Amino acid sequence: MLQIAQQRASEVDRLFPLSLGAEGSCTIGGNLSTNAGGTTALAYGVAREMALGLEVVLADGRILNGLSKLKKDNTGYDLRNLFIGAEGTLGIITAATLKLFPKPRAVETAFVGLKSPAQALKLLSISQNEAAGTLTSFELLSDFAVDFSVRHGIDVRAPLANRHAWYVLMELSSPRDDARAALESILAQGLEQAIVDDAVIAASLSQRAAFWKLRDEMSAAQKPEGGSIKHDISVPVVAVPDFIEQADAAVVKLIPGARPVPFGHLGDGNIHYNVSQPVDGDTADFMGRWHEVNALVFDIVLRMGGSISAEHGIGVLKRDELPGVKDKVAIELMRAIKAMLDPTGIMNPGKVL
């Protein structure tokens, strides 16, 4: 389980940085098979970048013994990355050697209110110049997403006194005691340049935990609002504001009253673009338009050179969309690799291809 890996690392004064809402139940094998992302990918990368080696059981029973502990190894083809993110369709990951990181000495977290994704992007740019590798999270949250979480989440409170159109939850993790000064400098620049409208820095560990609880409850908190049509997209980071503007307009034009609830990892260009049904609308009717809404959103994503699945993978839900959005030769290569490694189709059948 991911949480146990995090704890074991912490016990030896190290950090295993992968962090996501499901960390109390998901497994490392699953994290690697799906190439999980989460809220720290900005600084530490995705799961792919945290595994030094793998042991994999192949469809024919052979065992690939690749539990390397090496940081650098250029002896032959990179087989490890073939199995990471393949969603179990090429083999089953049964063991992995994981990379640990120095445990940060100072962690500082801020909750920021601002006017638009474009302003958030400016704040990201200031933060990256100021904090670079110590900027470990930069989450963009829409007003709907925060409001749902505050209203439906258990023990969740709004961190700022007033409502804002958009929010950023950002965190700096530094090996030195300089994170507070850097965060204050970032926010001061943001206020001065009229990018930031209001901000609060967590004054205690419990306040920090409260900020993150608001974020972690975000998916669950959409359920009491009725049906939700979900997307997990990425576009180039600079294109995120444009994407949200275009997608919002298209979705609301198609279904008047539909409520876009975008939130996610602005620093990675990865937005969970969920759409909640209109207030008092019919849930079944709304959910029946899943593919129609998908098509609309994916069309905008593809025109921006984006991905229709940034971190959640293909699975069954997006399997039939894949040939329409992926390079033709890439699909041919994927099929050839699948046929080579699993000719009888017994590894996680029906997924991805």
Site for its own copies in 318-337 (CB under 8 A): 318, 322, 325-327, 329-334, 336-337
At its nearest, how many Å lie between its own copies and the CB of residue 170?
Answer: 15
**Among residues 147, 323, 140, which one has the least CA distance to residue 222?**
147
Extended strands (E) in the chain:
14-15, 51-57, 63-66, 92-98, 101-102, 106-114, 135-142, 166-174, 198-201, 228-229, 232-234, 259-265, 270-276
The residue from 72, 161, 279, 280 that contacts its own copies (CB under 8 A) is 72
The residue from 307, 342, 347, 348 that contacts its own copies (CB under 8 A) is 307
At its nearest, how many Å lie between its own copies and the CB of residue 74?
Answer: 5
Applying the rule CB under 8 A, the residues between 79 and 118 that interact with its own copies are: 79, 81-82, 84-86, 90, 101-102, 104
The residue from 312, 342, 347, 348 that contacts its own copies (CB under 8 A) is 312
Contact indicator for 272, 264 with CB cutoff of 8 Å: yes
At its nearest, how many Å lie between its own copies and the CB of residue 297?
Answer: 15
At its nearest, how many Å lie between its own copies and the CB of residue 202?
Answer: 21
Applying the rule CB under 8 A, the residues between 194 and 233 that interact with its own copies are: none
Annotate each residue in 145-164 with x if it binds its own copies (CB under 8 A) or - if it does not, as one string.
--------------------
Q: Which residues contact 241 (CB under 8 A, 6 or more apart)?
A: 116, 117, 118, 120, 121
Nearer to its own copies, 82 or 201 (CB): 82
**Among residues 136, 157, 154, which one has the least CA distance to residue 146?**
157
Q: Which stretch binds its own copies (CB under 8 A): 21-29, 169-177, 255-263, 288-296?
A: 169-177
Nearer to its own copies, 4 or 340 (CB): 340
Number of residues that bind its own copies (CB under 8 A): 83
Q: Which stretch binds its own copies (CB under 8 A): 1-9, 145-153, 240-248, 308-316?
A: 308-316
At its nearest, how many Å lie between its own copies and the CB of residue 283?
Answer: 28
- The DSSP output letter for 128 is H
Contact indicator for 173, 134 with CB cutoff of 8 Å: yes
Regarding 174 and contact with its own copies (CB under 8 A), the answer is yes
At its nearest, how many Å lie between its own copies and the CB of residue 219?
Answer: 17
**Among residues 70, 47, 66, 46, which one has the least CA distance to residue 56?**
66
Token output for 239: 């294109």
Nearer to its own copies, 26 or 82 (CB): 82
CA distances from 196 to 116, 118, 136, 187, 204 (A): 10, 11, 19, 7, 22
Element (H, E) at 339: helix 328-341
CB atoms within 10 A of CB 98: 18
At its nearest, how many Å lie between its own copies and the CB of residue 139?
Answer: 14
| CB neighbour burial string for 115-153, b if at least 16 within 10 angstroms, e if fewer | eebbbbbbbbebbbebbeebbbbbbbbbebbbbbbbebb
Nearer to its own copies, 274 or 276 (CB): 274
Element (H, E) at 118: helix 117-131
Applying the rule CB under 8 A, the residues between 34 and 63 that interact with its own copies are: 34-35, 37, 41, 43, 45-46, 48-49, 58, 62-63
The residue from 237, 251, 255, 293 that contacts its own copies (CB under 8 A) is 237
DSSP bridge pairs for 8: none
Tally of residues, the chain: 353
Applying the rule CB under 8 A, the residues between 242 and 301 that interact with its own copies are: 265, 268-270
The residue from 224, 257, 305, 350 that contacts its own copies (CB under 8 A) is 305
The residue from 128, 191, 281, 299 that contacts its own copies (CB under 8 A) is 128
The residue from 4, 24, 25, 133 that contacts its own copies (CB under 8 A) is 133
